[in-house]
Structure 1
Amino acid sequence: MAEVSAVKRSIPTFLLVLLIVFGGCTGRPDGVEPVHPFDIQHYKGEWFEIMRLDHSFERGLTNVTATYTLRDDGSVDVLNKGFDRKNCRWKDAAGRAVFQGDRDTASLSVTFFWPFAGGYHVFALDQHDYGWALISGPSRSYLWILARQPDLSVDIRNRLIDKARGLGFPVDELILVDHGSTTCVPGGSP
């Protein structure tokens, strides 16, 4: 009976350790400083993915957007959407983001599949119009350039790439996201 009781007491501890270990990585790379001041009211809405470091969850997607909607509890609904031309269909992922600290610092934790969360750190931002942003994930393997329009001037893109390069991101691996036609022939090419 004492052994069963000890096991019952250790289960919550084990689950807590699992949650901490596998709950995701919400940290940020050394040197990446989130934008401050940051206004989520101004940041909300639709953003177009201009460039990204490619990952399996976005591989092959074009016309990628991220839409941020404020919730009454202070968190943010996240809807990422992209077009899979190979299979001629839209894909999306819905998640929820919460601030990691003060709401005026652009450092959030985003969860798409509970309990797994990842860091979302805006470290360059058009402070005047919120027209473009440079975002890091929890490591230098995650980098996005977003804009309010499906294109961004080469000058601004190059400045953002230079900033990321200076912080050690593998910018030579960035891909330019196509925001062209989503017309395709099922089973064929666009």
Structure 2
Amino acid sequence: MSLSRILLMALGLLVAGNAARAAEPPIAPVAHVDLPRFMGRWYVIATIPTRFERNAYDPVETYTLQPDGNVYTEFHFRDGGFGEPLKAIHSTGFVKPGSGNAVWGVQVFWPIKAQYIVAYLKDDYSQTIVARDARDYTWIMARTPTVSAADYDALVARVVRMGYPAAKIRKAPQQSPAAAD
């Protein structure tokens, strides 16, 4: 097989893959997020991680509502093991008007704002799923460092129904609530 034919086939597969991804419907956000109630500490239970959190242990996201309506975010984790020093990434969430507070643009580095969709939120605000239309990253989070096996399975099943590949979901190692302090 000639090099040009191989390149043509590769290009065709790339275009087909992008078309298939584009065929996915947008992820539906929850109808409304009570921002003050959503604020506080969320333990990452499972994720399809960004490159910064690929080896995160004890990952915790903490949200603080600012007077201007933006959300200050602190992501704390240990890179590579429970014994590693605590690291932090800070960002700002910009709530999209008219989204019921469920769609944000999160800015870690100016000027880029990454899509952030609250795609599931348990009625008592104890569990949430954050997703993206690109289906490249997702976060399953809870107010506690662990959830029951039944809850974990149900949350992962929700993520898969959103169009994410189950094989890419990584259960986040959590040691204890005090680990993030």
- Fold similarity call, TM over 0.5: yes
Unaligned runs of 5+ in 2: 1-23
Residues 52, 176 of structure 1: 8 Å contact kept:
yes
Q: 1:145 aligns with which of 114, 127, 140?
A: 140
**Contact persistence 1:31–1:167 (CA under 8 A):** no
| DSSP 3-state at the match of 2:31 | coil
Aligned pair partner of 2:157 in 162, 173, 178: 162
Q: Distance in 1 between matches of 2:150 and 2:27?
A: 22
TM-score normalised by structure 1 residue count: 0.75
Is 2:100 the partner of 1:126? Answer: no
Question: Contact conserved, 1:40 with 1:103, CA < 8 A, in 2?
Answer: no
Offset, 1:48:
0.2
Report the structure, 1 or 2, having the larger helix content. Answer: 2
Q: Is the 8 A contact 2:70 2:93 kept in 1?
A: yes
Deviations 1:109-161 (A, max 9, x none): 1001110110110111112x100001103411111100000001221222222
Moved over 6 A (4+): none
Higher Rg of the two aligned structures: 1
Closer/same/farther in 2, CA of residues 54 and 37 from structure 1, 3 Å limit: closer
Q: Are positions 1:70 and 2:51 aligned together?
A: no
Once residues 30 and 142 of structure 1 are traced to their aligned partners in structure 2, the CA distance between those partners, rounded to angstroms, is 16
Task: Summarize the alignment of residues 1-190 of structure 1 with structure 2, pairs less than 5 Å apart.
Answer: 30-85=25-80, 88-102=84-98, 104-127=100-123, 129-180=124-175
RMSD (CA atoms): 2.0
The normalised TM-score by structure 2 is: 0.78
Aligned residues with identical type, % of pairs? 26
Number of residue pairs aligned between Structure 1 and Structure 2: 154
Query: Structure 1: which 5+ residue stretches go unaligned?
Result: 1-28, 184-190
Change (3 A) 1:103 1:45: farther
Q: Distance in 1 between matches of 2:122 and 2:158?
A: 14
